[in-house]
Amino acid sequence: MTDFDDCLARGSHRFAGEIPGRMIGAPRLRGMPNLILHSDRALPSDPTTRGFAREIYQGIRELPIISMHGHVPVEWFADDTPFSDPAALLVTPDHYLMRMLISQGRTTLSDLGVASVDGDRAPEADPRAIWRRFCENWHLFRGTPTRFWMEHELVEIFGVTQRPSAETSDAIYDRIAAAIADPAFRPRTLMDRFNIEVIGTTDPAWASLEHHRKLAEEGWGERILPTFRPDPVLALDNPSFTHDVLATGLAAGVDVVDYKTYLDALRAQRLRFKAAGALATDHGPNLADTTPMADSDAARLFDAAFNGRPVTAAEARAFNAHMLFQMALMATEDGLVMQIHPGVERGHDRAITATYGPDKGYDIPFAVEYNRALRPMLEAFGHHPNFRTIVFTIDEDVYSRELAPMAGVYPAMRLGAPWWFIDSPEGMRRFRETATETAGFYNTSGFVDDTRAYCSIPARHDLARRIDAGFLARLVAEHRLDIDEAHETARDLAYHLPLLSYAKN
Amino acid sequence: MTDFDDCLARGSHRFAGEIPGRMIGAPRLRGMPNLILHSDRALPSDPTTRGFAREIYQGIRELPIISMHGHVPVEWFADDTPFSDPAALLVTPDHYLMRMLISQGRTTLSDLGVASVDGDRAPEADPRAIWRRFCENWHLFRGTPTRFWMEHELVEIFGVTQRPSAETSDAIYDRIAAAIADPAFRPRTLMDRFNIEVIGTTDPAWASLEHHRKLAEEGWGERILPTFRPDPVLALDNPSFTHDVLATGLAAGVDVVDYKTYLDALRAQRLRFKAAGALATDHGPNLADTTPMADSDAARLFDAAFNGRPVTAAEARAFNAHMLFQMALMATEDGLVMQIHPGVERGHDRAITATYGPDKGYDIPFAVEYNRALRPMLEAFGHHPNFRTIVFTIDEDVYSRELAPMAGVYPAMRLGAPWWFIDSPEGMRRFRETATETAGFYNTSGFVDDTRAYCSIPARHDLARRIDAGFLARLVAEHRLDIDEAHETARDLAYHLPLLSYAKN
Amino acid sequence: MTDFDDCLARGSHRFAGEIPGRMIGAPRLRGMPNLILHSDRALPSDPTTRGFAREIYQGIRELPIISMHGHVPVEWFADDTPFSDPAALLVTPDHYLMRMLISQGRTTLSDLGVASVDGDRAPEADPRAIWRRFCENWHLFRGTPTRFWMEHELVEIFGVTQRPSAETSDAIYDRIAAAIADPAFRPRTLMDRFNIEVIGTTDPAWASLEHHRKLAEEGWGERILPTFRPDPVLALDNPSFTHDVLATGLAAGVDVVDYKTYLDALRAQRLRFKAAGALATDHGPNLADTTPMADSDAARLFDAAFNGRPVTAAEARAFNAHMLFQMALMATEDGLVMQIHPGVERGHDRAITATYGPDKGYDIPFAVEYNRALRPMLEAFGHHPNFRTIVFTIDEDVYSRELAPMAGVYPAMRLGAPWWFIDSPEGMRRFRETATETAGFYNTSGFVDDTRAYCSIPARHDLARRIDAGFLARLVAEHRLDIDEAHETARDLAYHLPLLSYAKN
């Protein structure tokens, strides 16, 4: 792919004269600037507002972390194995980071250590080379949340003092490698160092929960909780639907033969999750639709898909909506909090997904309707004392128009924190600006992260606290809130609301 | 519904150790902080900008209020009766306020004094208890416009000096009750105290206008104007369509028997409204569509609905679009300004609406297309010298994309102030930021409120003036506007534009 | 159309008492204020941020202008003829400006010198009168980018020192008229004065490119480049489709008789454009859809339209999507960069378009889906080393939801600068705030203007540089970016990225 230097070298730069300024990319940096975390980072710059923001942030920065919507593999905690190398810890599990490197056309997923599904493409085997690809492209992350998180991780967790670049790559690699060789860097020990009070893992509907059982036996059952994620067993167009449903039945001890036993298996597995400490279920449907269908129709569609007969895309969508409604119904019985986050086309480039598998950075959001979609569920259970749903979105456009108005009246609904691409400084600021006036602070979930990147969790919570402190500070500076109220609200957003939002059962 | 304290009490808080920070809710407040209105509230905090904002605001703060889109019942003015109690004055008519209390699941509409339609559920009879439910949940309103308005009302109108809370509830109640017992607190006297030059009421198409006649006889005809609101008689799916149409005919002195006489009745009633001082009509359709149909089709559909024969939802929608076009056509004849604000699903929870009636806080916006929807009306009448339409929206997303570009070229169209949930500090700021660059200031209506809460009108105008002053101040501080221009524009937005926007006839 | 004064004069202002404040419009201005460009204009007002912004802006303000997406007529450069008068130079070619004057209902396109298509309506013949209509409505442009650009042009290019108004109109007219009479004010000389390194023109698919040949012969071939704009020959519903296709074939030396020869002609013309210096193609489809169809279907539809047989609207849309895919395929062969900007209903008022022709200010945006629309093209060519597409939008709503996520992973895609109505201070600021966190800076095109108004080009680039400097300054002030990085990024956005974005071939 063309780079400015190539372009010059090839003579295709047709414009005469000296090139003003410096060129694009890392080599232009003179020397090796220090990497320093300023104590006021991500706080507003206006001096009045910053003063209040600093004060508010100080009151919350050391609060424990509640991390109920995470995707760190439970095995990491169950086995408490050391991390292998800096690239495997920080680059390969982070699809934000990989997608940015890919976007410039000079790097492939193979170059970043991702194995192809069929094993035909040899991934980069040298973690040091992977790490260098990241460091020499550090400038690409300017203005992104990855930059903020990674800086935080490098300085706070690993004691790195140099800005990443081609020149500093090896030294930083060595420093991180040395850190993770230390037994103090095992996943469980980091729980305390990271000040994580409780963390949720995401577990498939058919999970045996053996890892969580082991954790409970070893005294971690109160802090590492499973989360029930049934997407594949609610999607009739899932190619392994029958297999996944049977596996769920097996785990639940229910012999699934039809729609009724399928519901029994789901109900039973939810209870097994709850017994293992789960507080919530997690749903990532394509659309937000929760319209139920007649049981007889649902049974007929289930039978078709379960027995390998064709089901149309429209039927699969309708069944999915029906099953979201059923999940809400079950939630009124078992009290598991229902997290919903629709609106992402997973694996936008199907050839990439076929080659490398899912979750590689090619997931692209689209517009989703919420008003009519959530109506059946909210009309049925929106005032149920035992039901809570937390709705996350990646489409900012719906905050002021649909989600905040609904969360601002239905007792069962909480508005989740800005999700995925908008879990970012500007995204979180806009969220407070667009949602608060209609939903208030107390119909939001407080900060909820969503990541596979374990080491980024403290950075993400720290950033959210800074942004919330900044927003509250502006309200104080504009005499729209008193400072004691701002302090209290900040603590509620950082700690009490995430805790209470998941405490329905 | 679970509260943090309950949660602790029930032992379901599984996380060990002391709870950091304080808990959610009002009881945590130490002492009873004063309620003070800072003179710079809602102005930008940056010192340069604030200086300009203060100066600009000073130039407009005492301008009279033009309130042409209100929903205060005309009876309040016609009878000039005293208000009964603080809850009936400030809580029960305010669906912003009720919805927030309901959203936390600890309060029902009955608890707030709302009677059920069938009379089966006894509403809370003690206004003091209703008032306390509001005061003890004061923290829920942090960051909302209700907080700003209510603070303004409590301090400026009632002289309250304590922040609402469970502890201060009774004292505040007593203070307000004493105030409204004073004859100076009658609706008409408040018109002057509130500095309202002119106020519009909203009246159904079939209104006899007797209250307005009485007001005119008593010298208030120039200041309290009716507004023609024909939504129910344009909606074939309105269950009482025939009844409402006949009532309209009766009021107009037209014997409605078919589509032609139906149009005659509407035309005649518009003129009766105009004769009674009306300057505008008000339309809240579901969609913005203004596509006309053939008269023969319209006549056929009218006949069907009028005679109780079934009409499909699509037919009702098409007829509604056709009738909006007819309303625009009539407006070119009588000069009544046509206010349109689509895009809200009224009564989102149908069980609540069935139990308590409409306008109880369960109205949820949705996305509406404007470009193609308004095209027939604008192509037909967009350059007509006698036509003006003011378009309001609750969907901010369309300001920069559709509404500002249309208002920025069609002479007949003005962009209304941010409506409903976005009649708020952040909403109004974003409106100026997204609409001004394409529509300019002079294709907007200036500030137009929309409320049943009479006492909130001065607060709403004050807030709008502060936000506009802040926006103009930023333009000045960034050297994008001179200070004399900012002063003049501020006066135009606060006073001249609302006046002139409704002065077509 | 009613003005406040008329309103008073006619006695229709029903509200008694003295009118507070001054009235709407220009006559109220006391004296004739100076027109001064403040060196800090459009920079943030917070002192900390402004300091950084000033420093960053200083580093880029004199960089040459890359203007690859312009619509200045190539004849202006080929003939290098003097401009006729101030109105013809500054008012009539600027649809932003005309639409605002029209929007208040006191001015028509004829009044602004626009001739009707049929010649039936005599346009205003006196350029001085046209100029006055603009000057006396100067207040309408407050808060708009036109105000910023025009101020810049008047002061920097023409040395005007008075604010436009009815009183100053003639003096300003005379000053501009004198300036453009000077030979130094010819189009080519201005290229250097404006510091434009390279400018693109927009040329139809059937262009003979004779003007560009002349320019090349006279040494301007490296700086004035054609751009291939094939919209009319990709639209089966274009009334002159057959004619335009035949003209394209003629220019290309290809005898078009069917779908295959049609593709041959397009391919050949692209290469002729490339040989004449073109770096890019430019596409303004209604929708963003890029779904290909079977060649046999495409051939059948082409044959129908080419031979004057009816084609449905849906077929025309599908063919257009297919042809965008074909354009992308050809781009992988010839390396021309593919610019796409959909989502505008051209000629919203069809009567105006019929009377005055296209591009008169009546183009209104609408919502367009990008996720599924661009998928076929991006799946096929999104990783092709020879392909680049720059996607522009006028719908801000899609930046954070769709476009930034796609540009942030597909190597072939760059996110274009905010387009048309959002090429504005607030629009550009919001663009950086909503796109950067997901796409980064380096997956954007840098600043690209889009205008027929030649004299506004320096003003537009200056404004973009100020806004980018302000955004980067905020990142520095909030300790989210180091100052050396901000300097480098600013230079890349202003110069290197626009250059490199168009340097694929």
C372 in reach of chain A (CB within 8 A): yes
- State residue B31's pLDDT score: 56
| Beta strand pairing call for A344-345 and A364-365 | antiparallel
CB contact under 8 A, A479 and B38: yes
A15 in reach of chain C (CB within 8 A): yes
Coil, helix or strand at residue A409:
coil
Structure tokens at C5: 């004064």
Chain C residue numbers touching A422 (CB-CB < 8 A): 400, 437
CB contact under 8 A, C478 and A102: no
* Binding-face residues of C in 258-297 toward A, CB within 8 A: 277
Chain B residue numbers touching C17 (CB-CB < 8 A): 197
pLDDT tens-place values along chain B, 505 residues long: 334 444 333 333 333 333 444 445 444 445 568 899 999 999 999 999 999 999 999 999 999 999 999 899 999 999 999 999 999 999 998 999 999 999 999 999 999 999 999 988 899 999 999 999 999 999 999 999 999 999 999 999 999 999 999 999 999 999 999 999 999 999 999 999 999 999 999 999 999 999 999 999 999 999 999 999 999 999 999 999 999 999 999 999 999 999 999 999 999 999 999 999 999 999 999 999 999 999 999 999 999 999 999 999 999 999 999 999 999 999 999 999 999 999 999 999 999 999 999 999 999 999 999 999 999 999 999 999 999 999 999 999 999 999 999 999 999 999 999 999 999 999 999 999 999 999 999 999 999 999 989 999 999 999 999 999 999 999 999 999 999 999 999 999 999 999 999 986 5
- State residue C193's pLDDT score: 97
* Binding-face residues of B in 111-150 toward A, CB within 8 A: 139-145, 147-148
Radius of gyration of chain C (CA): 24
* Binding-face residues of C in 389-418 toward B, CB within 8 A: 394-397
User: Whose structure tokens read 């029902």?
Assistant: B108
- Rounded-to-integer distance, Cα C174 and Cα C169, Å: 9
CB contact under 8 A, B409 and C102: yes
What b/e sequence results for A306-330 when a residue is b if at least 16 CB atoms lie within 10 Å of its CB, and e otherwise?
beeeebeeebbbbbbbbbbbbbbbb
C375 in reach of chain A (CB within 8 A): yes
Q: Measured between alpha carbons, how far is residue C390 from residues A218, B48, B154, C233 in Å?
A: 55, 39, 55, 21
Report the greatest alpha carbon distance in chain C.
77
Do C66 and C449 contact (CB within 8 A), yes or no?
Answer: no
Nearest residue, CB atoms, B408 vs list C13, C38, C100: C100
Q: Which residue of A has its CA nearest to B109?
A: A409
Nearest residue, CB atoms, A500 vs list B4, B348, B361: B4
Q: Measured between alpha carbons, how far is residue B451 from residues A177, A318, B162, C276, C374 in Å?
A: 63, 40, 26, 64, 44
CB contact under 8 A, B147 and A504: no
CB contact under 8 A, A404 and B421: yes
Interface test with C, best of B409, B431, B472 (most C CBs within 10 A): B409
Which candidate, C217, C203, C143, C135, places its Cα nearest to that of C174? C135
Structure tokens at A403: 């989600």
Structure tokens at B361: 């806080």
**Count of CB atoms within 10 A of residue A294's CB?**
9
Q: Got the DSSP string for C282-332?
A: EE--SS-------HHHHHHHHHHHHTT----HHHHHHHHHHHHHHHHHHHH
- The predicted-structure confidence for B431-473, as pLDDT tens digits, reads as follows 999 999 999 999 999 999 999 899 999 999 999 999 999 999 9
Structure tokens at B237: 């799916």
Which candidate, A42, C260, C278, places its Cα nearest to that of C269? C278
- Rounded-to-integer distance, Cα B172 and Cα B150, Å: 12
C192 in reach of chain A (CB within 8 A): no
- Rounded-to-integer distance, Cα B118 and Cα B273, Å: 33
DSSP B124: P
Nearest residue, CB atoms, A495 vs list B21, B350, B430: B21
Name C119's Cβ contacts closer than 8 Å, sequence gap at least 6: none
Structure tokens at B148: 């700003």
Which candidate, A128, A132, A114, A138, places its Cα nearest to that of A361? A114
Structure tokens at C481: 């970016």
CB contact under 8 A, B478 and C99: no
CB contact under 8 A, C42 and B504: no
Nearest residue, CB atoms, B222 vs list C1, C14, C424: C14
Which candidate, B169, B67, B52, places its Cα nearest to that of B482? B52
Name A148's Cβ contacts closer than 8 Å, sequence gap at least 6: A41, A42, A425, A459, A463, C480
On the CB side of C502, CA atoms within 13 Å amount to 28
Confidence band for C93, pLDDT divided at 50, 70 and 90: confident
What b/e sequence results for C29-48 when a residue is b if at least 16 CB atoms lie within 10 Å of its CB, and e otherwise?
beeeeebeeeebbbbbbbeb
User: Whose structure tokens read 């079939």?
Assistant: B206
Q: Got the DSSP string for B178-203?
A: HHHHSGGGSHHHHHHHTTEEEEE--E
Structure tokens at C457: 């080009």
Chain C residue numbers touching A42 (CB-CB < 8 A): 478-480
Q: Given 3-state DSSP classes, what are the helix, strand and coil percentages for chain C, each rounded to the nearest 5?
A: 50, 5, 40
Name A291's Cβ contacts closer than 8 Å, sequence gap at least 6: A318, A321, A322, A325, A373, A376
Nearest residue, CB atoms, C1 vs list B223, B411, B481: B411
CB contact under 8 A, C41 and B479: yes
Q: At what angle do helices C313-334 and C295-306 cross, to 10 degrees?
A: 120
- State residue A429's pLDDT score: 98
How many CB pairs (< 8 A) connect A and B?
Answer: 181
- Rounded-to-integer distance, Cα B93 and Cα B153, Å: 15
Q: How many whole angstroms from its chain centre is CA C18?
A: 46
CB contact under 8 A, B142 and A441: yes
Structure tokens at A480: 């729209």
Interface test with A, best of C68, C332, C492 (most A CBs within 10 A): C492
- The predicted-structure confidence for A17-59, as pLDDT tens digits, reads as follows 334 444 444 444 455 688 999 999 999 999 999 999 999 999 9
Which candidate, C199, C264, C201, C266, places its Cα nearest to that of C231? C266
User: Whose structure tokens read 């959203």?
Assistant: B103
- Rounded-to-integer distance, Cα A65 and Cα A61, Å: 10
Q: Got the DSSP string for A145-213?
A: HHHHHHHHIIIIIT---B--STTTHHHHHHHHHHHHHSGGGSHHHHHHHTTEEEEE--EETT---HHHH
B249 in reach of chain A (CB within 8 A): no
CB contact under 8 A, B103 and A407: yes
Q: Measured between alpha carbons, how far is residue A459 from residues A283, A425, A464 in Å?
A: 25, 12, 9
- State residue B15's pLDDT score: 38
- The predicted-structure confidence for C303-357, as pLDDT tens digits, reads as follows 999 999 999 999 999 999 999 999 999 999 999 999 999 999 999 999 999 999 9
Question: C405 CA to chain B: closest CA distance, Å?
Answer: 19
Chain C residue numbers touching B384 (CB-CB < 8 A): none
Do A32 and A12 contact (CB within 8 A), yes or no?
Answer: no
CB contact under 8 A, B105 and A372: no
C59 in reach of chain A (CB within 8 A): yes
C31 in reach of chain B (CB within 8 A): no
Q: Is C119 exposed, middle or buried (0-12, 13-18, 19+ CB in 10 A)?
A: exposed
- The predicted-structure confidence for C242-251, as pLDDT tens digits, reads as follows 999 999 999 9
CB contact under 8 A, A102 and C385: no
Q: Sign of the CA dihedral B216, B220, B222, B227? A: negative
B362 in reach of chain A (CB within 8 A): yes
Q: What is the side-by-side strand order in the sheet with C389-391?
A: C203-204, C228-229, C280-283, C337-340, C389-391, C413-415
CB contact under 8 A, C421 and B407: no
Residues found in chain C = 505
Identity of residue A183: P
CB contact under 8 A, B33 and A382: no
CB contact under 8 A, B369 and C367: yes
| Beta strand pairing call for B224-225 and B196-200 | parallel
* Binding-face residues of B in 67-96 toward C, CB within 8 A: none
C221 in reach of chain A (CB within 8 A): no
Question: A235 CA to chain C: closest CA distance, Å?
Answer: 20
* Span C365-374, average pLDDT: 98
Do C450 and C464 contact (CB within 8 A), yes or no?
Answer: no
Do A402 and B366 contact (CB within 8 A), yes or no?
Answer: yes
Coil, helix or strand at residue B84:
coil
Do A492 and B43 contact (CB within 8 A), yes or no?
Answer: no
Chain A residue numbers touching C409 (CB-CB < 8 A): 99-100, 102-103, 361-362
Interface test with C, best of B479, B487, B493 (most C CBs within 10 A): B479
Residue C430: its H or E element = helix C425-439
Chain B residue numbers touching C94 (CB-CB < 8 A): none
Do B279 and B68 contact (CB within 8 A), yes or no?
Answer: yes
CB contact under 8 A, C222 and A15: yes
Global confidence as pTM: 0.95
Question: A269 CA to chain C: closest CA distance, Å?
Answer: 35
- Rounded-to-integer distance, Cα B96 and Cα B423, Å: 11
CB contact under 8 A, C43 and B378: no
Which subunits count as partners of chain B given 3+ CB pairs below 8 Å? Answer: A, C
A228 in reach of chain C (CB within 8 A): no
Chain B residue numbers touching A434 (CB-CB < 8 A): 396, 426, 430
Q: What is the mean pLDDT of each run of 10 residues along chain A (505 residues)?
A: 39 37 44 86 96 98 96 95 95 94 96 93 95 97 98 97 96 97 96 97 97 97 97 97 98 98 98 97 98 98 97 98 98 98 97 95 97 98 97 95 98 97 97 98 96 95 98 98 97 97 77
Nearest residue, CB atoms, A480 vs list B13, B14, B425: B425
* Binding-face residues of B in 199-218 toward A, CB within 8 A: none
- Rounded-to-integer distance, Cα B135 and Cα C235, Å: 63
